[in-house]
Amino acid sequence: MRTAKVLGLSTFLMAAIPNAMSESQILEKLGLPQETRALVIHADDAGMSWAADAATVEAMEKGVVTCGSAMVPCSWFPATVRACKENPKLDMGIHLTLTSEWSVYRWGPVAGKTLVPNLVDDEGYMWRDVPEVYESVGTDLDQVVVEVQAQIDHARNLGFEPTHLDSHMGTLFYNEDYFKAACNMALDNDLPFMAFAYNEKMGEMYKSKLPYYDEKIVESLDRAGFPLFDWFMGEELAGDTYEEGFQNYCDFFTQLKPGVTLLIVHLGKDGEELKHITGRHGARDRQYRIFTDPKMKERLQKEGIRLLGWREIKQGIWDKRDKSIEKVFQ
């Protein structure tokens, strides 16, 4: 999830990590001891470009990245599908996409512009940022639902079976109605959607940043069988050099407390393609090299961190939920 800067979600959740937490429900449901420091290393933006796709697949096959999610509207998504068919062990979800943020590399909706006109800008592509989506769509989310379903259907029609759903730039998370719609669609499509637990420290921060995300919301999600991560880290720690970035991530791992932390990374193989897409091409390349470095695997083993992927969480929690619950929010 590439977070919208105006909301600062990754920063305030990161700040909560070192604090003591209540009992972890996700550890309990997975049958893991409460003292377990578990980590999901998740690579966003697979399928966005060749650079992102190749780096993500390699980091999952040869490195320590445990799972990722792919952007269905993007031109390299078929390559993601092919990789998953060639290696069924790849743990890949759908990075539900309602924005197209880059300056010259753009994409449009899978459902087609005529079906979802409120999701495209004057240039005919998806809006560049989250607030623009909210302003254009307004309170009627029918077109959002159409596009989300189109992305899931298109992926499955190509033979791609995702392990989970999450949200590019957090569009389906930062607004209460969008989040509730996404969770209901997750049940409709039998796929877990990214969600988080609630504890005292996190609750204080939710009130200022995500006022809708309260204990009642979390109780409904838990009752419906959604896996609830204890902590989330979306802030890039790539630094200005490889050495700095490597040490930043090592320091972060040392700070991990018991529970399940979801760490988001953005990977890419540097080159002309990625340089023409994003000014952060160097940071993406550093993350790719850091998480394919054998020394990183050694460091995680030394820390005693339990690596998890979405597939294991889905099988251990989501697939065992009460399937008579067909809708989590009215």
Q: What is the pLDDT of residues 20-79, one digit of tens each?
A: 457 899 999 999 999 999 999 999 999 999 999 999 999 999 999 999 999 999 999 999
What pLDDT is attached to residue 202?
65
The helix/strand count (H/E) of the chain reads as 14, 7
Count of other CB atoms within 10 angstroms of residue 162? 24
Q: How do 92-96 and 165-167 pair as beta strands?
A: parallel
Cα 40 to the center of its chain, rounded Å: 10
pLDDT in tens, 239-295: 999 999 999 999 999 999 999 999 999 999 999 999 999 999 999 999 999 999 999
CB neighbours (10 Å) of residue 251? 10
pTM for the whole thing? 0.93
Query: pLDDT tens digits, residue range 223-243?
Result: 999 999 999 898 889 999 999
Q: pLDDT (tens digit, 9 = 90+) per residue, 132-165?
A: 999 999 999 999 999 999 999 999 999 999 999 9
How crowded is residue 82: how many other Cβ atoms within 10 Å of its Cβ? 15
* CATH topology for the 9-320 domain: TIM Barrel (3.20.20)
Pairing of strands 306-308, 259-266: unpaired
Residues 175-218: pLDDT tens digits?
999 999 999 999 999 999 999 998 766 667 677 778 899 999 99
Whether 178 contacts 145, CB under 8 Å: no
Q: Which helix H or strand E contains 92, and what residues bound it?
A: strand 92-96
The residues, ordered by sequence, that sit 6+ positions from 252 with a Cβ below 8 Å of its Cβ are 233, 237, 263
Neighbours of 271 (CB within 10 A): 13
d(CA 58, CA 64): 10
Contact 26, 196 (CB under 8 A): no
- The pair of three-digit structure tokens given for residue 298, joined into one six-digit string: 């050694």
